[in-house]
Amino acid sequence: MMMYRRLMNLFLIFCISTICITNAYSQKFDETKIKTLFNQFNKVSPTPFNYKVLKDFLKNIKIEELKKGKKIEKECLFENFKCECIDKLKIEFDKKSNTFILSVHEEKYEKDVDWCPEHSFIGSFKINNNKVYEVNFRLVAG
């Protein structure tokens, strides 16, 4: 009977540990983190994209994959109508500063010109204990 209890305790400890480790490694950008980022970015400087664009870009990205060196880039359209101006979002993790870097390349549609003026923005932030902090967003060219 005593041996059975010890085995059950070991089994429970193993299961709980596995669940905790799995959750840590499969952590994604959830609704709360994305809303916080979007709101904080816009407090610092207006973003050229809306919340939905950021949400669609970040929603399936695993945080641990970025921390392991994966970079994710996606072409998208910031305007809410079809045009030739292609925008890009890219996210990566800088191990040296323990910071996530969001690069934004915007080709803004201008009705009166024959080309799309370009702007580049850089956003940075940290995540610790499931909280987003040290958020910055700025225009770097354009």
Q: Is residue 78 part of a domain?
A: yes
Q: Is residue 15 part of a domain?
A: no
Prediction pTM value: 0.75
Domain of residue 81 covers: 29-141
Q: Is residue 21 part of a domain?
A: no
Q: Is residue 127 part of a domain?
A: yes
User: Splitting the chain (142 residues) into consecutive groups of 10 residues, what average pLDDT does each group show?
Assistant: 63 55 63 92 86 92 94 88 86 95 88 82 91 88 72
Interior angle at CA 41, CA 31 and CA 108, nearest 5: 105
Q: Is residue 23 part of a domain?
A: no
Q: Is residue 53 part of a domain?
A: yes
Assigned token pair, 126: 């940290």
Q: Quick check: helix, strand or coil at residue 48?
A: coil
Q: Is residue 17 part of a domain?
A: no
Q: Could you give the number of structural domains in the chain?
A: 1
Q: What does the pLDDT read at residue 12?
A: 57
Percent of the chain exceeding pLDDT 70 equals 81
Q: What are the tens digits of pLDDT across the range 112-135?
A: 777 788 889 999 999 998 889 999
Q: Is residue 22 part of a domain?
A: no
